[in-house]
Amino acid sequence: MARKKIALIGAGMIGGTLAHLAAKKEMGDIVLFDIAEGIPQGKALDLSQCGPIEGFDARITGTNDYKDIAGADVVIVTAGVPRKPGMSRDDLLGINLKVMKAVGDGIKANAPDAFVICITNPLDAMVWALREFSGLPHEKVVGMAGVLDSARFATFLAWEFGVSVRDVNAFVLGGHGDTMVPVTSYTTISGIPVNDLAKIRGIAPEKLDEIVKRTRGGGGEIVALLKTGSAYYAPATSAIAMAEAYLGDQKRILPCAAYVDGKYGLDGLYVGVPAVIGAGGIEDIVEIELSDEEKSNLKVSTDAVVELLDACKAMDESL
Ligand code: TXD
């Protein structure tokens, strides 16, 4: 059976990391696409030379021509510009919306049957715009944010409780912005609700609030430290987990920016919700019971996403 084909649109910090992870895991052949000449080709050549050392067989190529993504099974989109210190994710909207138009056209023409994972920020708006521009079915276009935000939440919890990160199952819903909703009522450590373990361990509720706050600011914390860009190792790792769930028909329930129409009181919005990822793409959205506070926090988050969509529509009348 022929190898799967993974196309990475954007060969920057996340794109290169995606390629390395996908190659190490032998997920398939990899095409790195970018508008910058030489970058995708150079990174593809460098990554290929890891093969004899790491022991993976994967054809890794770089290109500036969308025709080379033809027939891709998975397309992961990081094309665009990242934040610099002092910038919000929303500040990227104008530039990255135009990029999504070009990327959407490229996917529509060359890889219409792919499962598309969008990473480009502002994520909830960019994944919606990418779906509109590409015309792919809603269940085949998803945004990566919740897996990353939940991993940040889980890391901070594991540090505070002094437990293995393997045992923390954290849930962050809503938009990928300062209004994201870490859902402590569905967060467990070895199946123990985190609020219960906090009481057992004598960890004050204020400490958990601090961790929720640090999770919300997790992206900005790294941008401030790096100064020249944003996080890329954990974002890439998160998108790879989503791609594996699709390619392996794993039926994982992951927090993803999926298209919600009816559930959670939403009609026609991409926002972070528990989504089942399998061979059909987004196969189901799980509508969990939320506390009143969590419901109102989710409303604030989805209202912020609607504002971004309105800004996108104002910039591009085809939306
Ligand atoms: O959780 C999340 N979703 C976020 C997303 C986590 C971290 C970073 N987030 C966003 O991902 C970030 O704000 C950016 O919008 C993207 C990509 O971040 P990355 O750090 O990989 O940015 P780079 O290193 O600048 O890479 C972007 C590449 C770069 O090589 C450009 O030449 C290329 O995108 N680029 C394009 N490729 C194709 N087509 C077009 N039009 C284009 N424009 C730029």
Q: Which value does ipTM take for this structure?
A: 0.99
Q: Which of 54, 72, 70, 56 has its CA nearest to residue 4?
A: 72
Q: Is pLDDT of 250 > 90?
A: yes
Which of 4, 20, 140, 176 is flagged as catalytic?
176
Is 176 annotated in the active site? yes
Q: Which atom of ligand 1 lies at the shortest distance from residue 89's CA?
A: 13
CA of 144 to the centre of ligand 1 (A): 13
CA of 204 to the centre of ligand 1 (A): 39
Instruction: State the pLDDT confidence band at 61, using cuts at 50, 70 and 90.
Output: very high
pLDDT digits (tens, 9 = 90+) for 16-60: 999 999 999 999 999 999 999 999 999 999 999 999 999 999 999
Mutate to test the pocket of ligand 1, among 13, 75, 78 (most ligand atoms within 8 A of CB): 78
Q: Is pLDDT of 7 > 90?
A: yes
Q: Is pLDDT of 88 > 90?
A: no
CA of 289 to the centre of ligand 1 (A): 35
CA of 162 to the centre of ligand 1 (A): 34
- The larger pLDDT score, comparing residue 88 to residue 77, is at 77
pTM exceeds cut of 0.90? yes
- pLDDT, residue 58, reads 97
* CATH class entry, domain 5-144: alpha beta
Residue nearest to atom 3 of ligand 1 (CA): 119
Domain ranges of the chain: 5-144, 146-314
* CATH class entry, domain 146-314: alpha beta
270 lines ligand 1 (CB under 6 A): no
Instruction: Work out the percent of the chain whose per-residue pLDDT is above 70.
Output: 100
- pLDDT, residue 176, reads 87
95 lines ligand 1 (CB under 6 A): no
pLDDT digits (tens, 9 = 90+) for 197-214: 999 999 999 999 999 999
